[in-house]
Structure 1
Amino acid sequence: MPAAQLLARDIRALRKARGMTLAEIGARLKRSIGWLSQVERGLSVPSLADLRAFADLFGVPLGLFFGHEAESDSERGVVVRSGRRRSLGTSESGLVEELLSPDLGGSFEMLRSVFAPGAELAAIALRKTEEAGYVVSGRFDIEIDGVWHELGKGDSFRFAAKPFRWKNPGDEPAVVIWVVSPPVY
């Protein structure tokens, strides 16, 4: 699948995950529904300014739209090599995420999340998603629906459409493989 098609698929998946129509996005971005439809079908490629507007609208980092090319055509959309993942965060924020899924077009996304020591999501988040995670290393505390759970290496969790927040109370980074359905990035 060409890069334009991957970008189109990601933009469409983000719009659908947020329950937005083409008309709503068109009004917010001051773009026609026809142009947006062409972008979502890979017929038009948005400019850098357009990609910044999409990133702001969807609340995702701009870098999400710059995928790394697959090593071969047979791997495109199927395999993500460790050195070719899309990074979705910064070390300054205390959370760096890498997209393990080839794109956002499927029914779920898989992320490798690295939480810095002391990092936390202080404000409660609530998404219309089902989420699960596996702690690869470190200590990771997660509050789900008002109950805190202390997790360590090898522990896992799952919840659906419940308020949550997290923190890394440890002295080392916590690495969590996180699965979200439908994709939100």
Structure 2
Amino acid sequence: MKKIVVLAAVAISAIACNKTTDVKEFKTAYIDTVKMMEEYNEAKELNEKFKTKGEVKGRELEVEAKKLQIEKENFQKNAMAKGQAWAQQKYAELQQRDQQLGYAQQAIMEQLQAEGGKERDSIVKQVREFIKSYGKEKGYDYVYGTGDAATVLYAKDSYDITKDVIKALNDKYAAKAKPAEAKKEEKK
């Protein structure tokens, strides 16, 4: 009797071990988001645009700062000769202009950051939508991101589709830019 029970238990175990559960394979990939934004042409152009804007505004402030510095040097030379009342009034004027220059610099930085932030957010939104449609088109179940906000701590290099996505993004951006350039040429 014991032999029959043991044999039944072994038979049930063998049958249970032979059952396989259906395991679905997922198609996954990841994108290095920092590298993508560094190599995406539209993002590069945006960075250059705001770098140039910042340099232009910076030169304007630099001219004003140099004028103020020259006046400060002249103030120091003339303070003794023109008297204490003049010196106090001129010193107050110079301090006020120095403060205004600081405020102007801060306002320019805030303006550039606000404008740049809006445009960067727009690009990020476009890229996310693109990656979503790219993933669907290529049959991916999951596309992860690495970079500053890493959501993937490790993945095989074979799952890296960063270059493919950058190329596709740049191709799409170039195609979008060509009609705009053609319209500019037609107006000339």
> Which has the larger share of strand?
1
TM-score when scaled to structure 1? 0.23
TM-score when scaled to structure 2? 0.23
